[in-house]
Structure 1
Amino acid sequence: MLRKIGILYGQERSFPGAVIDRINAKKPEGIRAEPVSIDKVVQGEGPGYAVIIDRISHDVPFYRAFLKNAALTGTAVINNPFWTSADEKFFNNCLATRIGVPVPKTVILPSSALPTDTSHQSFTNLAYPLDWEGIFAYVGFPAYMKPFAGGGWRNVYRLEDQAAFFERHRETEQLVMLLQEEIVFDEYYRCYCIGGRYVRIMPYEPRNPAHLRYESDFRPSPERLQQMEEIVLKLNRYLGYDFNTVELAVRDGVPYAIDFANPAPDADARSVGAENFEWVVETSARYAIERAEAWREGRDNCTWGEYLRRNTTGEQLV
């Protein structure tokens, strides 16, 4: 029986094609890779793929529904579409505080404008005004404000004081935002994690222009590498991501997890550089083949994280 590996993607070009070519070049027995092709989606009917690598459903709700149906019918979707639908950055921070991973002080904020089809009566349980002084004292300034559900660098603000906060918060309208402590870092790293066990730690300078962010003048010690790898693996094990990046800002020797909900992280050859691109293509190809070889008909083939597993079995979180 042929086991197909499909790549579901949008505007990106270098990574999807390279992964398809790499898988097929390895000639795994009974396995072939190709771009996903969808001509109809019928409830309860599988798409014919043992594995799908998802690079676009976070932007396309139709694809997300397609992938949930695929997962339900046995496809190993990378990443689990049920988890990526439920996940968001504030929850991730909350989880990190429970499993001992340092994160910036963070609060979640109601949107400045009323959501569509709501009124002030919809917010009976929300105190007005909020305890702004308590919030600002906890987070401090300068601070960052960003959407709680992610979105890259869109609607991300660095705020110097309360006046700047209120001005910018009004501009965000119906977006639910996070207010987060600024971590003034000595070093910064972006870390691929694939399959919950393969890690590549990349020095990264977010203050550089986009095309130069993977160029930096710092390198981690072996001890720091091990420390960061343990954090990356722990976060991904609990969250259940098959493919993710974790961003770590090192302040006074402590790596803080800044952003670790990136289910379709940048893997473009032009931005990540040749060596990182080669690693992510090769590792993604090998992992997809592993998942195709492990695929079993008629069962759930998706990854579920420790957070969900422990809660369903009644185990302690840590």
Structure 2
Amino acid sequence: MKKVGVLVGREVTFPESIINSINEKGNGEVVAEMVKVGGIRLDEEKKYDVIIDRISHEVPYYRAALKRMALEGTYIINNPFWWSADDKFFNFSLAAKLGVAIPKTVLLPQQDYIPDITSESLRNLEFPLDWEGIVEHVGFPAFLKPFDGGGWKNVSKIHSLEELWYEYNQTGKLCMTLQEGIEFDQFVRCYCVGQEKVLVMPYDPSKPYLSGMQYVNVDDYLSPELHARVEKDVITICKALGYDLNTVEFAIKDGVPYAIDFMNPAPDAEIASVGEYNHNWIVNALTDFIFEKLEKGFETPEYRWSALLSPPAQIAKEKTTAKAKTAKTAKTTKTTKEKSQAKNAGAK
């Protein structure tokens, strides 16, 4: 029996739906449940084949627990090591190099620091900053937002240098970015599952969360050409970042989809927020992805310790054995099919 665990925060409908979906499809051979953890020992045994992580970015204990579980071979959606290292400014830079349209963005030093940081600690830092040069590059309107954050927290729309200084001075120890504001004609949010399946959702970011008005069902919202480009960019981004579950947001201006946010490894999927259709799509797509991978095997991330725990010769032997078993199964299936066809031909 295979076990899938779900690690959750305050959300309700998505955990319930994904657990029910997996259990219905699993017929007792694959079982999903809420993860239960307490004090974790160094020699803790493997309990889950897969864990869907929805909350470790806000609970450090959960993040540490997931890393330990990965050591035993549990596949985590999403990879807790990369998620810990990732940030949005790096993502913008990477996506731009991959040919995705990204608004002009500048990383800013923190406004404040922990008590032990003094002026001597910051001798490498340019002071004062060239604020005029920064705003000349980015332009107005612009968005001041954390380099690593989500949920539209601590995000300000900026229209002038004076407004930028005021808002920047409220950010404290947060590291921020200033990004060109795209006055969009259209806006979409896209689910991506398994770095392959994409759902493009018309989205209105100006509407309040849980208002029921953010996600709008509009047929043919994008032209076929634009829809295809958005899908391509979503897959490019998620493959590059390695996220099996993610959302990518595009502000579209003059036919160009600018990717403005795509570090969402625990994307919103509550019915009250995303609507029934989108909720069902993400539940079904993730269920199918998990079952496909449980059957075919997950591509385990290249953890540095893997070579020490499983020497290269052993890994090569295991891969050769797996390939041989697959080839033998295929050959047996083919032989059985040929015999059946010959028998039917003889009967005729």
TM-score above 0.5: yes
Aligned to 1:281: 283
Distance apart, 1:97 and its partner CA = 1.4
Counterpart in the other structure of 2:324 = none
Q: Aligned partners of 1:47 and 1:149: how far apart in 2? A: 31
Residues 303, 255 of structure 1: alpha-carbon distance in 2 compared, 3 angstrom cutoff: farther
Tell me the CA shift for residue 83 of structure 1.
Answer: 0.6
Equivalent in the alignment of 2:48: 49
What is residue 214 of structure 1 aligned with on the other side?
Answer: 215
Residue of structure 2 in register with 1:205 after alignment: 204
CA contact (8 A) 2:201 2:217 kept: no
Q: Which residue of 2 aligns with 1:255?
A: 257
| Unpaired segments ≥5 residues, structure 1 | 305-318
Distance 2:110 2:94 in 1: 23
Q: Deviations over 1:109-142 (max 9, x none)?
A: 1111123421111111011111211111100111
1:216/1:19 CA distance change after superposition, 3 Å: closer
Number of paired residues?
300
- 1:233 shift after superposition: 0.2
Task: Look up the SS of the partner of 2:62 in the other structure.
Answer: helix
Cα distance in 1 for partners of 2:217, 2:91 equals 28
The C-alpha deviation readout for 1:38-78, integer Å capped at 9, x for no partner, is: 13312253441000000000110000000111112100100
Give the SS at the match of 2:169. helix
Q: Give the counterpart of 1:233 among 220, 232, 235.
A: 235
What does residue 40 of structure 1 align with? 39
Amino acid aligned to 1:233: I
Cα pair distance change 1:146/1:46, threshold 3 Å: farther
Is the 1:80–1:303 Cα contact (8 Å) retained in structure 2? no
CA gap of 1:294–1:52, structure 2 versus 1, over 3 A, is farther
Q: CA deviation at 1:150?
A: 1.1
8 Å Cα contact 2:91-2:263 kept in structure 1: yes
In 1, are the aligned partners of 2:8 and 2:55 still within 8 Å (CA)? yes
Change over 3 Å in CA distance of 1:96–1:116 after alignment to 2: farther
1:294 is displaced (CA, Å) by: 3.6
Distance 2:117 2:20 in 1: 50
**Paired residue for 2:325?**
none
2:174 aligns to what SS in structure 1? coil
Give me the whole-angstrom Cα distance separating, in 2, the residues matched to 1:288 and 1:155.
Answer: 34
Q: Structure 2 regions of 5+ residues with no counterpart?
A: 304-348
Residue type of the alignment partner of 1:220: L
Given the alignment of the two structures, is residue 133 of structure 1 paired with residue 132 of structure 2, yes or no? yes
SS at structure 2 position matched to 1:104 = coil
Q: Could you say which residue in structure 1 is the equivalent of 2:312?
A: none
Contact 1:75 1:301 in 2 (8 A): no
| Separation in 2, partners of 1:28, 1:51 | 17
SS in 2 for 1:188: strand
Q: Summarize the Cα distance change of 1:237–1:124 in structure 2 as closer, same or farther, 3 Å threshold.
A: same
Letter in 2 for 1:82: F
| C-alpha distance in 1 between matches for 2:136 and 2:122 | 25
1:67 and 2:66 are equivalent in the alignment: yes
Task: Calculate the TM-score normalised by the size of structure 1.
Answer: 0.90
- Percent identical pairs in the alignment equals 47
Contact 1:114–1:120 under 8 Å retained in 2: no
For 2:31, give the aligned amino acid: R
| 1:295 CA displacement | 4.3
Amino acid at match of 2:214: R
Instruction: State how 1:181-192 maps to structure 2 within 5 Å.
Output: 181-192=180-191
Q: 3-state DSSP class of the match of 1:171?
A: coil
Once residues 126 and 23 of structure 2 are traced to their aligned partners in structure 1, the CA distance between those partners, rounded to angstroms, is: 58
Instruction: Give the structure with the larger helix fraction.
Output: 2
The answer for the alignment partner of 1:164 in structure 2 is 163
Quote the residue 2:178 is aligned against: 179
Whole-Å separation in 2 of the counterparts to 1:89 and 1:247: 13
Larger radius of gyration: 2
